[in-house]
Structure 1
């Protein structure tokens, strides 16, 4: 059955059309990345939440080894991998009284126009000072409402931010 679906969908689409779809998707995803950064600066909780799939997503922070050891010494109950969700992050952004910004570098996007993976390095700034650095990855899906983040995982190295 799967082979039939591949045959019916894949063979009839010219390579140029698939390439065009992928470059359109790439541009749309780049816009989501830019809107994400702008929403953080603007403390726009509503816009941030709208960029995520409403149900079924996942969000994970993974502390870097040195940061984990340092924080674990003070908080023995701490786990290295911390599951969370986008609602908490959006609330933090919306409620923050400080200037906050997340800067991205080395952004890489892979997509087939239905799903996408976005990977980048980040620096999270509070009042203009680097507070945390790491790498972040988003899994995205192309919904009827546009591209949405369905999963996020990021490494966290607050000890490297100093």
Structure 2
């Protein structure tokens, strides 16, 4: 009986005191993943290939694209459990001030000794409406 009581107290203590630490870790992971997203964007804008390549788990991760004629409105979202994560976001691709493509992108990430790394990318791509083709960002 004493062992059961001790086990229940240990579980209760873990639940009571372990949760804030777990929540803080999840927030830290979210912040680190947001940093990967920001670095990805900045490295493309700056054409910084070395920084861009450091974001990936390995050089030959899968990139799977789907052309579509329909847009879905969604903002940046991410989920993680500490070891793996997913990120979804809308994107617009501009070249010389003209929007050339837009779509949705989703990444799978893994948490490594060197931080979060992108392990795969899937995306949709579509041409923008003619009226917004050369609209500045």
Alignment TM-score, normalising by the size of structure 1: 0.65
What does 1:1-162 correspond to in 2, within 5 Å?
A: 12=14, 14-54=18-58, 57-65=61-69, 106-160=75-129, 162=133
Hey, which bits of structure 1, 4+ residues long, moved more than 2 A?
159-162
Cα deviation for residue 106 of structure 1 reads 1.4
Cα deviation for residue 46 of structure 1 reads 1.0
- In terms of mean alpha carbon deviation, does 51-60 or 151-160 score higher? 51-60
Q: Show structure 2 runs of 5+ residues with no match.
A: 1-10
Q: Computing the radius of gyration over CA atoms, which structure comes out larger, 1 or 2? A: 2
| Deviation readout 1:66-114 (Å, 9 max, x if unpaired) | 8xxxxxxxxxxxxxxxxxxxxxxxxxxxxxxxxxxxxxx7110111111
Residues 56 and 150 of structure 1 are in contact (CA less than 8 Å); yes or no, is this contact kept in structure 2?
A: no
Cα deviation for residue 57 of structure 1 reads 2.5
Cα deviation for residue 152 of structure 1 reads 0.2
Q: Show structure 1 runs of 5+ residues with no match.
A: 1-10, 67-104
Alignment TM-score, normalising by the size of structure 2: 0.76
Residues 99 and 128 of structure 2 are in contact (CA less than 8 Å); yes or no, is this contact kept in structure 1?
A: no
- SS state of the match for residue 158, structure 1? coil
